[in-house]
Amino acid sequence: MSSGRGKAAGAPRATLLSIGSEILLGEIVDTNAAYLAAELAQLGVDLRRVEQVPDHLHAISAAFEAGLAAGDLVLATGGLGPTHDDLTRDGLARALGETLTQDADLAAELTTRFGGMGRMPVSNLRQAMLIPSAMPIPNPIGSAPGWWVDLDRHVLALMPGVPSEMRQMWTDQVVPRLRRRFHLTSLLFRTVKTFGLGESAVAERAGDLLTAPDDGLQAGIYARDDGVHLRFSSWQDRSRLDAAVDRARRLLGDDVYGTDDETLPAVALAALGRAGARSLSTVEHGTDGALLAILSGHTAQDGQARFAGGVLSMSEEDDGIPRAADAVLTVHLSSAAALGYSRVSVALSAPNGGFDDRRLRIHGSGPQRLRRAAFAALDQVRRIDGAAR
């Protein structure tokens, strides 16, 4: 939940359409919508509606008409491929009362891409169709170009449904055009990350920093696998944001492990580095390898102990053999009990110190429970700093 959601003054109102029958059949999860929704929030666009639309001409053109009636901007992903059920171009042409014709430049580019006319399935020429008011947006990593349509009072942007193609087109080409067209200023934000306290405890300690933030600031609280985060945002004021972060740090003390892009693996491996360890291996039980997955995903940085790999044991006895590293972190997660929480025990051996068998409790179920156990272990490691001082 977030306690205040400011809008930039005069923010354009947007509709987002995800086009494809696969989505309505539940065959794929529409991750594009969540990605673009987060991007739009940060850009200062007021996203009013998201709709998933099947590959039917009437449904697509009706969705475009509704989007145009509802606001200033319509974004759409999907339905730009070469097959007969890729109908986004046709649906928008119909909604705008314009006619599709083949664009000679686009047709030539497509033919080159396929290595000559004879090699390209003729259906691909669908991707060279354009309406008079549309400008093509190049797609360097796929065959479907996007469309940019500026109708004076309304703007539309069509992007491919393949997430990698969509994200590259969005970042490199659509965002800069939207910034210019709507004079957008990005939302500034900063995050304070805690581990070891529940969401309500963090909210209580943060007090009016969360419930009544300063003018021009918004504050939100988010329970994530890697702890409870406080996020402050503002449309204009960097210094107030920094002041809010400083105050949150003071109020939350040792339970803050970092801000912004700092992560638990990074701060834990840095604490180990300061404690004289050059490398870390891990032994885990009951976690399905969650600690290995989290540490593998971390990119090593100077001053941090290096992650050297680890062992997952499936038996209750700890028969794992730690690898050649000078620090070893051991995590045992108990099998799930009907207590509302699970027990985790964590131990660390390290050149200058370490600790035996700390018992912790974590909440959650499913994969979240496994990841929380791993993050709880890393949180214990990063706290050796304070103990050594």
Query: Could you say whether residue 117 binds a second copy (CB under 8 A)?
Result: no
Query: Could you say whether residue 288 binds a second copy (CB under 8 A)?
Result: yes
Measured between alpha carbons, how far is 62 from 46 in angstroms, rounded to an integer? Answer: 21
Query: Could you say whether residue 39 binds a second copy (CB under 8 A)?
Result: yes
Query: Could you say whether residue 323 binds a second copy (CB under 8 A)?
Result: yes
Q: Residue from 67, 79, 160, 320 that binds a second copy (CB under 8 A)?
A: 320
**Nearest approach, Cβ of residue 389 and a second copy (Å):** 30
Query: Could you say whether residue 3 binds a second copy (CB under 8 A)?
Result: no
Residue 386, CA distances (Å) to 167, 318, 371 in order:
41, 29, 24
Query: Could you say whether residue 301 binds a second copy (CB under 8 A)?
Result: no
Query: Could you say whether residue 82 binds a second copy (CB under 8 A)?
Result: no
Q: Residue from 114, 222, 235, 355 that binds a second copy (CB under 8 A)?
A: 222
Q: Which residue has the tokens 């390898």?
A: 289
Q: Residue from 9, 122, 314, 338 that binds a second copy (CB under 8 A)?
A: 314
By the 10 Å C-beta count (0-12 exposed, 13-18 middle, 19+ buried), 369 is classed as: buried
Say if CB 30 and CB 23 are below 8 A apart. yes
Q: Residue from 48, 183, 359, 363 that binds a second copy (CB under 8 A)?
A: 48
Residue 105, CA distances (Å) to 102, 108, 160 in order:
9, 5, 19
**Nearest approach, Cβ of residue 133 and a second copy (Å):** 26
Measured between alpha carbons, how far is 155 from 45 in angstroms, rounded to an integer? Answer: 13
Query: Could you say whether residue 308 binds a second copy (CB under 8 A)?
Result: yes
**Nearest approach, Cβ of residue 2 and a second copy (Å):** 8
Nearest CA among 287, 329, 331, 281 for reference residue 307: 281
Residues in contact with a second copy, shown as a per-residue x/- string from 153 to 192 under the rule CB under 8 A: -----------x----------------------------
Q: Which is nearer to a second copy, 54 or 146 (CB)?
A: 54
Say if CB 170 and CB 37 are below 8 A apart. no
- Residues 383, 384, 389, CA angle at the centre, nearest 5°? 105
Residue 88, CA distances (Å) to 83, 137, 216 in order:
11, 15, 40
Stretch that binds a second copy, among 45-53, 89-97, 119-127, 340-348 (CB under 8 A): 45-53
Query: Could you say whether residue 316 binds a second copy (CB under 8 A)?
Result: no
Residues in the chain: 389
Strand partners of residue 362: 342
**Nearest approach, Cβ of residue 323 and a second copy (Å):** 6
Q: Which residues bind a second copy (CB under 8 A)?
A: 1-2, 5, 21-31, 33-41, 47-54, 59, 83, 164, 222, 288-289, 292-293, 296-297, 306-315, 319-321, 323-324, 365
